[in-house]
Amino acid sequence: MSSQTRLTRAYKNAFRIKFTDSDKFILFSDCHRGDGSFADDFANNRNIYMHALNQYYKNDFQYIELGDGDELWENLFFKDIIEANKNVFLLLKKFYEKKKLHMIYGNHDMVYRNQEIVKKHFSEYFDTTAGKNLPLMPNLTFNEAIVLENTDTGQELFLTHGHQADFMNYVGWKFNRLFVRVLWKPLQVWGIKDPTSPAKNYLESLKIERRIKRWISENGNKITIVGHTHRPHFPKPSENLLNFFNDGSCVHPRNITGIEIENGKISLIKWLIDTNDDGVLQIVKEYIETPQKLSDYE
């Protein structure tokens, strides 16, 4: 099965969410939430991510995670991840309870294709204060793709992780997972890059992006938003480029990137730690690409 066939299948089987210009979404991907060890890339940005997510929750955004939320290649046990990131999951639970949490699986959390595994991991958690298990997100589901459909215009936004265009991280993901667990997690502590990751292989990233762009070109230039390569990408309508978007990742050095959809507009943003005029550290949001009207993308 080719990458084009895999992407088409993901689109046809996607979970559909209707929206209007009054709806607000924040799209993050590639958090790679880990166990808090030296090999945990997410740990450095956890506070930035938590602050950003809190702001989105307070401002009534829906949260969509485009895959690789949990690092299930390097970590054998999900309990290690939830223990290191319990505050994160409890915040996600707030979105879940408002029916504003939408999850997509990627290659690093491909096991979430299995609903029994999702149920096992997310049904409950141990609360140390209460001394017992409490409900977490018992009916949580993960999808391979989501299509946002504007009820007023009929415009569609195709959201998926993007690993469909990466044979070894889609078809051969179990081999890559074994490779990472056995060899590359210990070496990562010493700064050696994982060759299975397109995020750390520029030429491989370009190949994957070309395959996705080919699919977009052959399918009516449909707005397509992915993660996987960790390379933020945002075309402007005036540039007459293919409607290929990438929200980046939450494991960039010192910042996280994402895509906002609000008031019928789309933008590429980053959250980072900065200082104010008094030298006080603060977490701030900046636009990498300013809001553009979705209706201008044809």
Q: 176 φ, ψ to 5°?
A: -60, -40
Q: Taking the domains of the chain in order of start, what are their residue ranges?
A: 3-268+276-296
Query: What per-residue confidence (pLDDT) applies to 249?
Result: 97
- Residue 192 pLDDT > 60, yes or no? no
Q: What is the pTM of this model?
A: 0.93
CATH of 3-268+276-296, one of 3.40.50.10490, 2.40.37.10, 3.60.21.10, 3.40.50.300: 3.60.21.10
Q: 239-288 pLDDT, tens per residue?
A: 989 999 999 999 999 999 999 999 999 999 999 999 888 889 999 999 99
Rounded Cα distance, 261 and 123, in Å: 30
Q: Which DSSP letter does residue 123 get?
A: S
Other CB atoms within 10 Å distance of the CB of residue 59? 10
Q: 133-182 pLDDT, tens per residue?
A: 999 999 999 999 999 999 999 999 999 999 999 988 888 878 888 777 77
CA angle 228, 160, 49 (to 5 degrees): 60
